[in-house]
Amino acid sequence: MEERILELLKEVEAIQFGDFVLTSGKHSSYYVNIKKASTHPKVLREIAKAMAKHLSGTKIAGMELGAVPLAVALSLETNIPYVMVRKGKREHGTGSQIEGELTPGEEVVVVEDVTTSGGSTLKTVEILRGAGAVVKRAIVAVDRNSGAIELLAESGVELIPLVSSKDFDI
């Protein structure tokens, strides 16, 4: 666990308690707002530094919206280029679901803000693989310990969390 990241998340009140509905539709007594955290340069910089320790490959990828600031910060930290993955295909312009240069066979590391079941991260992996990328690893700021590690492992992707919900003292 990256204790410094957990401290910073608490400091900027990115870990909130109450009644929340997650992307998965499940209810939770806590919410991790990495989008809020990533608007603080100090927090974003520290997340990027921590993620950089686990980086491999020649490209970074992040799904819109929450993972894009993480991908940008990690790219700036490591000087490794990144791509942005759209949740759906565009109906205008190029119609591309991936923005940025991606070469078939290129090894890409997916970055994610928060994982619960891992469904969104797996969708990102599948889009990238569909474009010819090799994806073996994903790095997440916070894992909620709800099956993401196992789901991604079934698809041959190692998920590395910086912080786990087990670390929240809830």
Q: What does the block give as tokens for 111?
A: 């970055």
- Paired residues of 15 in beta bridges: 32
Model pTM score:
0.94
CA 43 to chain centroid, in Å, comes to: 15
- Average the pLDDT over 48-70 and give the result: 95
Q: Are 125 and 132 in contact (CB under 8 A)?
A: no
pLDDT of residue 96: 84
What are 18-51's pLDDT values in tens digits? Answer: 999 987 788 899 999 999 999 999 999 999 999 9
CA distance 170 to 165: 8
Q: Which two tokens stand for residue 95?
A: 């119609």
| Structural domains in the chain plus CATH codes | 3-168 (3.40.50.2020)
Percent of all residues in the chain with a pLDDT value above 90, rounded to a whole number: 85
Which ranges of the chain would DSSP assign to H, the alpha helix? 3-11, 34-37, 41-52, 67-78, 119-130, 148-154
Q: Strands 98-99 and 107-115, how do they pair?
A: unpaired
Of residues 78, 81, 142, the one with CA closest to residue 108: 81
Question: What's the confidence (pLDDT) of residue 92?
Answer: 64
pLDDT over threshold 90, residue 1: no
For the cut 80, the answer to whether the pLDDT of residue 131 exceeds it is yes
Q: How far is CA 119 from the centre of its chain?
A: 12
Average pLDDT of the chain is 93
8 A C-beta contact, residue 74 and residue 102: no
Q: For 48, list phi and psi in degrees, rounded to 5.
A: -60, -40
Give pLDDT tens digits for 76-124: 999 999 999 998 876 666 668 999 999 999 999 999 999 999 999 999 9
Share of the chain above pLDDT 70, in %: 95
Counting other chains too, the contacts that 160-166 makes at CB distance below 8 Å and 24 or more residues apart are 160/54, 161/115, 162/1, 162/2, 162/5, 162/47, 162/50, 162/51, 163/1, 163/2, 163/5, 163/6, 163/9, 164/1, 165/30, 165/32
pLDDT given for residue 104 in this prediction: 96
